[in-house]
Structure 1
């Protein structure tokens, strides 16, 4: 039998055993799975992704709100609201003011996507994409005449001079619309723009026959106008009733019928002496229909929670109220605001339940895939490790056919090296008990085969010697 050694290995018969052949192919992936060079970057990446996700969730939502004109009570109200919301510890919502020239421009900013919320007026260019969140205040339309005037009802305004307190395009349009309801041409009424400080002099100088005031009924402007007319005319003012207010509001939902109650403006005798009806317009805070419902719910809750804090700084804060939740209203409510008013706000888990479900499914799939990968790697490692049994089988066959002691020594060396490798793999946990038992059995059989063959070779060597000794023994002569 030929025994050869090459590249640190040995050959027994036709079997070449090298250190490379005893390396299991599963060693590399197994080492990679346990290597910190794999797990540490993976853990760092997972931590970075988690931190990024938490930052995204915890990042405050910035809502752009369009309001105008500059210097108006609405701008002051929204500015105070932004300050109060910035003081909240959670700070999950922030307001960014976008100041406009008027309510029409605010509505246009919302429709154009330049704002998320806007303060609009119900009778002026209502936003096509905005849904009501809250009513900031209702402005009643009050026609007040001095006691010396002949104006007693709306029809009497024909060919009269009507002062418009704080005249704006919106209020001028409102007057024209109201006159048209009574068949009065706008050109037949002279409109006189007035500021609060000039009202009394206009009454005394008889430059106007009546004044139109569009303001919250219990607000400072309305009370100041009533007092100015009364003092300038030296008598109780005349409050002109819009008797058809309900019918007008029915035909044109942008208006509302409003009642000025007896004694609202104080004094004795009370002003007015009797309650009367008039029209009103509402200033509304509207949100884009594209804005998430939960964001609007959160904003609405904060608005009404902070209303008391706002009332100390803004006279309009007391007028903030819940809008009509009727689904048939011409000025519909935002679903997010409706959820707050109905007590159906979605919790964090309600909002993201689909994402949690998908995330759980994805994580389950990822874990299953990782488990399958680990199992496959372990199986590969085990197959590679137990491939040493095939080597031992070949060594046992070669040992049984060994022709000399050198071949048996080579086989013993190969078994010893395989045993060393197997012990290291067992130490590293890459061989289970069953595999270790199989290897141990195979090595025992190899050693037994080597021992048996050694005995046979020794017997074969001893037999020719005995024959030769018998042949040369001396003959004894009898």
Structure 2
């Protein structure tokens, strides 16, 4: 049904006994009640909008993180992060996506089945991966075990060129370790095809050493890796000192393969007596990274990075590997491009709540201002008919003033006075509604006072000088 403003606000003159003047306007109390309800509804809507925005802004965000293999050091560290984030009621929570290893984790991220992943830097990194943190740095350790007692020994191996024709045991089933060995062999002019590679798991070291199946070993992991330390100890259990092969060309390898870096293994890193090794050894290193999908929100990644480094110290006691977590490389030529959210945290440019939502807040305020202006215009349009009607009633009052000065009928004067009272009531209502200003009300008050004075003077005159019956000023004019 269309809104008829004239029907709502117009006044009509109704003839008949006891009804004089325009119909009464809406009750001020009902108008105020409606305005109050509208104001309360608007306030509740604003509060609901703010509360809803705050809820969605502060609601914990779950992120899926791919890591493997199960029970590995990486998986244990991530599990510790999951538990710590939950205990701290952090804004970002983690959900584990178990995989068979770093390569499988990379595939899961590339397929969009995870938001974060632990990947190995010397493997193929998904194109949509962006670095968030360096979980740990790994070094390549290559050593020749001492000849067991009672066993026939061949020529002692002291350099890489002597590995041709020998069997090399690679700890771990991943192809990445074999690729690493091949790169080192080629650097020293050894054809990988002339070397027999035997891969075995960490639980098979004792058997391999016992059967003397290999002439040298390669392990890749952190300097303080328990797997590497135990493997070296197992190969020297019967006495003797292992020979560590230094990769003196580590810088050249890093130049040709940016995924690797030149590094050093400090003397005594693997314990034992005498110290293993007995001097610093040059080698190459690579990293395990925490990466995120490129499309993941900058704010979410920044929050995760902040939480990661905040809880790092809390889990070091149970997982010393957490001490190796480092910030990502933010250089533009980094092997794995850094995620903008992580870069914002590292560079101290992380956006606050107001920074992220200031545009929305500004546009909301602009919208509310526009709605207020539109509401004011609409209210002014609704009062326009009321103002126009009040103006016509004021003119009617002035006309009645002229008629009252000539009227000869007390009944007519009474009717006009009752009509003036109705006009007064309507004018006061208009003033309360804001349809007329104080100056207009003052002008009306002067006209009303003059009308009442004219009626009083005319009645006093008719009492002093009786007039012929049924005569009136209108009849005289006619």
Report the TM-score, using the length of structure 2 for normalisation: 0.83
- Measured in 2, the distance between the counterparts of 1:109 and 1:7 equals 89
Tell me how far apart the structure 1 counterparts of residues 420 and 100 of structure 2 sit (CA, whole Å).
Answer: 94
Structure 2 Cα separation of the partners of residues 147 and 360 of structure 1:
78
Counterpart selection for 1:335 from 340, 345, 354: 340
- Distance of 1:116 and 1:260 partners within structure 2: 34
Match of 1:156 in 2: 162
Alignment deviations for residues 201-260 of structure 1 (CA, whole Å, 9 cap, x no partner): 42342211111111112111111111112224x210011122222111111111222211
Aligned to 2:401: 396
Alpha-carbon shift at residue 118 of structure 1 (Å): 1.1
Give the aligned partner of residue 175 of structure 2.
Answer: 169
How far does the alpha carbon of each residue in 1:364-383 deviate from its partner, in whole angstroms, 9 at most, with x for none? 43444444455555666544
Instruction: Classify 1:210/1:380 alpha carbon distance in 2 versus 1 (closer, same or farther; 3 Å).
Output: farther
Deviation of the 1:459 alpha carbon: 5.9
1:277 aligns with 2:282: yes
Q: Which residue of 1 aligns with 2:77?
A: 77
Q: Deviations over 1:157-211 (max 9, x none)?
A: 2222111112223323333344344454444322212233432442342211111
- In structure 2, do the counterparts of structure 1 residues 387 and 137 end up closer, same or farther at CA, with 3 Å as the change threshold? same
Number of corresponding residues: 449
Residue in 2 that maps onto 1:65: 65
State the alpha-carbon separation in 1 of the partners of residues 175 and 389 from structure 2: 88
Aligned counterparts of 2:365 and 2:241: Cα–Cα separation in 1: 74
CA–CA separation in structure 2 for the residues paired with 1:200 and 1:280: 26
Pair 427,289 (structure 1): closer, same or farther in 2 beyond 3 Å: closer
* 3-state SS of 2:439 partner: helix
Three-state SS of the structure 1 residue aligned to 2:64 is: strand
Q: Distance in 2 between matches of 1:306 and 1:98?
A: 21
8 A contact 1:30–1:381 mirrored in 2: no
Equivalent in 204, 208, 211 of residue 205 of structure 1: 211
For residues 131-280 of structure 1, the aligned pairs below 5 Å read 131-148=130-147, 150-232=156-238, 234-280=239-285
Greater shift after overlay, 200-209 or 34-43? Answer: 34-43
Distance of aligned partners of 1:126 and 1:8 in 2 relative to their CA distance in 1, 3 Å threshold: farther
Structure 1 CA distance, aligned partners of 2:17 and 2:144? Answer: 119
Which deviations, in whole Å up to 9, do the C-alpha atoms of 1:287-309 show, x marking residues without a partner? 22322333322222221221122
Does the 8 Å contact 1:386/1:439 carry over to 2?
A: no
Gaps of 5+ in 2: 1-12, 148-153, 470-478
Q: Is the 8 A contact 2:408 2:462 kept in 1?
A: no
Alignment of 1:345-360 (within 5 A): 345-360=350-365
Calculate the aligned-residue CA RMSD, in Å: 3.2
Contact kept, 8 Å, 1:67 with 1:118, in 2: the verdict is yes
C-alpha displacement at 1:82, in angstroms? 0.9
Measure, in 1, the Cα distance between the counterparts of 2:420 and 2:289: 91
Question: 1:92 aligns to what?
Answer: 91
CA offset digits 1:92-136 (Å, max 9, x no partner): 121111222222232233233332211111111212122212111
Give, in whole Å, the separation in 2 of the partners of 1:8 and 1:277.
117
Could you tell me how far apart the structure 2 residues matched to 1:188 and 1:452 are? 134
Uncovered stretches (5+) of structure 1, i.e. residues with no partner: 11-16, 464-478
Q: Contact between 2:262 and 2:284, CA under 8 Å: does it hold in 1?
A: yes
- Residue from 434, 457, 461 that aligns with 2:467: 461
C-alpha deviation, 1:5, in angstroms: 7.3
1:35 aligns with 35
For residue 420 of structure 2, the aligned residue among 408, 415, 424 is 415
1:292 to 279, 293, 297: 297
User: Mean alpha-carbon deviation: is it higher for 238-247 or for 437-446?
Assistant: 437-446
Residues 337, 426 of structure 1: alpha-carbon distance in 2 compared, 3 angstrom cutoff: closer
Counterpart of 2:10 in structure 1 is: none
In 2, the alpha carbon distance for the partners of 1:390 and 1:109 equals: 84
C-alpha distance in structure 2 between counterparts of 1:7 and 1:113, whole Å? 83
Corresponding residue for 1:19?
22
Q: For residues 429 and 373 of structure 1, do their structure 2 counterparts lie closer, same or farther at Cα, with a shift above 3 Å needed?
A: closer
Could you state the TM-score of these two structures normalised by the residue count of structure 1? 0.83
